[in-house]
A and B are shown apart, each in its own frame.
Chain A
Amino acid sequence: MKPFILNWPKPSFRLFKNKKRLLFPILAIAGPGLIAANAGNDAGGIATYASAGAQFGYRTLFFMLLVTIALVVVQEMCARIGAYSGEGLGSLIREHFTIRQSSFALTLFVIANIGLVVSEFAGIAAALQLFHVSKFISVPIAAIFVWTLVIFGTYKRAEQLFLILSLAFLTYPVAAILAHPDIKLATNQLLTPHLLYSRSFLLIGVALIGTTITPYMQFYLSGAVTDKGIGPKEYPKERISTIFGAIFANVISMFIIIATAAAITKRGPLASAAEAAIGLKPVAGQFAKELFAFGLLGASALAAAVVPLSTAYAVSEAVGSERSVSKSIREAPIFTGLFTIQVIIGALVALIPGNLINTLINTQALNGIITPIILVYILIIANQKSILGEAANGYVFKTIATICVGVIGALSLVFTVVTFASWFGIKL
C-alpha cells in the first residue's frame, strides 16, 4: 500500500526558531513590576534626571533615595492590590468610591497622561533636533506615524524596535563610572540629607517624584498583575520582582544623575538635549549625541503610543463601553476617538515654541502634583480589609505608607502654592 502515502520530507531551514521570543523572555521573567518601574525612564524621566544632575550635581541623590523608598512602598501596594483583589485600580476605584470621587481620580489620571503624551512628543522632537530636524517637521510626522502604527495594528512589531533603541539608556551606569565621578562626594550626598529650599529645587524634586512614581504606572501595574492571573499563591514571587524592579529602575536613574553631574561641570539648568547628551560621552565618545538621540527617540515613541492607549482604555471603560476595548481598535469609535484626540493634543502642545527640556520637566512636575492624590486612593484601597482581606495593610505598613504619601503630598502642595504665587509675582 506504499503508493498511497505521499510524505512531505521537505527540510526547513529557519534562522530564527522562535522569532517573536528573541527579546521578550527577559521581559517575561522580569514581570510587570520591573517593566512598570523602568518605564519611568522615558523621555521625561531622562530629561528630569539629567537636568537634576546638571543643575544640582549629586545633591538630589539623597532625595532620590527617599523617592526609591516611596516607589517600593507604592508599587508593592499596587501589585498586592492587583494580586489579592483580582481587579485593576480603576475598577476598584469605581466600585468602592462614589461616582464623584471616581471621576475626580479619572480626570486627574487623564490630565497626568495628557501631560505624558506631550512629554513623549517633546522627547521625539528633542531627539530629532539632535539630527537637526526642526520640531515643526518631526512632531507632526511622529504623530501621524504613531497613530498609524496603532490604528493599523502594526504597533506590536514596531514596539520591539523602540524597546531596543531605548536600551541605549542602560549605558548610563557605565558612563557614570567612566566619567570618574567624585565618589566620596556622591556617597556623602546620597546618604546625608540634602534638601534645598529654592523654587528650582522644588521643581526638580516634584518632577523627580512625578517621573518616578507616575500615576499611569500604578494603574498599569495593578492591571498587569491581575491580567497575568497572579493571585495570592504567586504573590510572594511577584512581590520580590516588584521590589527589585523599583530599586533597579531607580539605581539606573541615579546613575543618570551621576553621569550628567560628572560630565557637566558648569552648574545650571539643562538648556538642551545636546547638553544632556554630554553625559554619555565617556561611553560613546563623539557619538554620544547619536546614542542619546536614539535612546530618547525609542523611549519616547514607545510611550507615545502606550500612554494615550491607556487613557483611552480607562475612559471608555469608565463610561461603560468595556467590550469595545477588547475588540479590534478600528471597530471602537469612542476608543479610537479618545486615542486620536490625545495624540493631536500631545503633538500640538509639544509644538508650542519654547525650550523642549523645560516642557519635558514641567510635564513631569504636573505628574508630580497629581501623584499624591492618586496615592491617597491607592492607600485607602490597600488599607481595606473588605477588599484585600488578610493582605490589607498592617499597622506598621500603613504608617510607613501614610508617611510616604503625606510627605509627597506636602511637597506637591508647597510646590503648587509657590508656583501659583510666582504667577502673581509673589516670591515665597
Chain B
Amino acid sequence: MVYKFHLPSNKSTHKRLKDLSDALVSLSGITGREIVNQEGQILGSLVDLVCHWDSAETYPPLTGIIAKVARRNVWIPISYTESIKPNRIKLNDSKLDLREFKPRNGEVRLTKEVLDHQLIDVDGARVVRASDLYVAYIGKQPRLVGVDVGYKPLIKRLGPSVFRAKVSPDSVIDWATIESFGNQDSNQPKLKLSANRQELRKMRPGELADLLEDLGRQERQELLKVLTPDLAADALEEMEPKELEGLLRESSIESGSKYLASMEPDEAADALRDIDENLRNDLMNIMPKDKSSRIDRVLKYDEETAGGIMNTILLFAKQEDLVGDIIEQLKNSESDLGSLNSIVITDGDGKLLYDLELANLLIADKNTPLKKLMKPPATVTVAPDASIKEVAEILVESRSFSIVVVDSSEKPIGRIYADDLLDVLIPSERFHFPRLLSS
C-alpha cells in the first residue's frame, strides 16, 4: 500500500497522517543524535539501529543500537533503552557494558544494510530503494514499520541535520508489504530474503519478471531461490530475452539448466540462442535428455520462422484411441495442461491426421474413438521454415488458438500458440538501457 502523503484528500486523513508522523521515528533523522542517560548526560551519538530479520513477525523488532561512545562504536541492547524519540535516545538505568557490535544471525544494521538498498514492494510489484526508514513503538517494543521511497527524504538528508528530526513522510510503504534483503549469516555476506515469502508466491509471473529485471544480481538470485520451480519458470518466460540471457550467465550451470528445463521449450530456446556456445552446451548437457532434446528441436530453426517459435511439447494420440483412455492419460500426465489445448492425432507412421481441440473430449462419449471426432475443416499446418507473417496469416484464417508445425514428412514437430505469435509480432514497448545506477 503506497500512501501518497502529499495528496491529503480531506481533513481527517490529514490529521491521521499527522498523528502517524508524530509517532514515527525517522532513521535518517535520528542517526547522529545524542544518546542520554537518566540524568540527561550525553553518552554518545547514534550510529545505527539494529533489527532482527528472520522472524515470522510482520514488523521486525529492534534488538539494539550501535552508538559512538568515546570514538568507539559500541553495542547497546534494546533492553537498555528507555525511549527512542525522533531526536534523542534515552537509556534506562541499567549498567552499560560497552562491547563491540557483532551481528548475530538474522540481525541487520538498518543504515548500513537497508537504507539506500533495494527492496521489493509486493503490493506495488516493484523494486524500490529505501530513502528513509521509519521506526515506531508497537506496545513496548520499537519496530521497523515503514519505508519511504520518495525523493523528499533524500533532499532532507542532503540538508543540515537539524531539519531531519521532524518526520515528513513522502511516499511511505507499510513494512508489512515489503520484502527485504538482509545479511542473514554474519559469516557469509550473502543476501537472504526476509519473512513473508508467501506474498511473493502470489504475484503474477509478469510482475515477478519485472522484479527480476530490476533487482541487483545477488538480490535476483535470492528471489529466484524462494520461488517454486514452476513459478520461477513462468516468471523467467516473461523476462526480456536479453535479460534472461544475463541471468543465465550469472547463475550456476546447475540452476540455470534447471530453470531452462522447466520453461516452455520455445522460451528456453529463445534465451539460449544468443548465449555463447560453451555455456549453451554446458547448460544443455546436464539437462535431462528429453528436456534438452525438445529445446534442441526449436534451436535448429531460425528464430524468425515457425520452427523457431514453436512449442515442442505435444500431446499425441492415434485415431483408434478412445476418448475415455485419452482423458485417463491426461489425468496422469505431468504436463502443464494450462498451456496445452489440442491433441495431435497421427497415423501409424507418425504422420499428422488431425489436430483435435481438447474441448471436444468433454462433450464426447467415453467410448467414442477419436476418429469419430475428426470432422472437417481439415487441419491447417505450417512448415517449420514458414515466416512469422505467414504463420500469423494462417492462424487468423483458420480461426483457432494454435497451429501445428509439421516437418517435410508431415510429422508434427511442434505447435505455435496465438500468444507465442503475439510475443513476436508486438514489438517490445519496454525501453531497456544498460543499468547505470542500479545493477
Instruction: Give the interface of A toward B (CB within 8 A).
Output: 1, 3-10, 12, 14, 17-18, 28, 32, 82, 85-91, 94-95, 99-100, 102-103, 106, 153, 219-220, 223-224, 226-231, 234, 309-310, 313-314, 317-320, 322-323, 325-329, 386
Contact = CB atoms under 8 A, between A and B. Distances in A.
Interface stretch (B242-250, B285-293, B328-336): B242-250
Residue of B154, B189, B390, B434 ringed by the most chain A CB atoms within 10 A: B434
B381 A226 contact: no
A12 B387 contact: yes
Contact of A8 (B28, B128, B302, B390): B390
Interface string B92-114: 00000000000000000000000
A14 B302 CA distance: 12
Contacts of B410: 5, 7
Contacts of A224: 434
B149 A320 contact: yes
Contacts of B429: 153, 328
B380 A8 contact: yes
Interface in B108-131: 116-117, 126-129, 131
A231 B221 CA distance: 13
Nearest to A386: B189
Contacts of B353: 1, 4-5
A17 B302 CA distance: 8
Nearest to A16: B304
B1 to A, nearest CB: 16
B381 A8 contact: yes
B352 A5 contact: yes
Interface stretch (B3-11, B193-201, B258-266, B371-379): B371-379
Contacts, number: 180
A64 B429 CA distance: 42
B163 interface: no
Contact of B116 (A5, A14, A94, A329): A94
A88 B437 contact: yes
Nearest to A35: B434
B376 A228 contact: no
Interface stretch (B209-217, B228-236, B358-366): B209-217
Contacts of A219: 436-437
Contact of B210 (A9, A87, A102, A326): A326
Nearest to A315: B437
B438 A88 contact: yes
A235 to B, nearest CB: 11
A10 B386 contact: yes
Interface in B141-179: 149-151, 154, 157-158
B385 interface: yes
Nearest to B371: A1
A12 B87 CA distance: 74
Nearest to B354: A4
Contact of B158 (A7, A103, A328): A103
A219 B437 CA distance: 8
B379 A4 contact: yes
B135 interface: no
A91 B439 contact: yes
B71 interface: no
- List the 5 closest pairs (A to B, CB-CB), nearest first: A86-B217, A90-B437, A229-B249, A229-B246, A87-B439
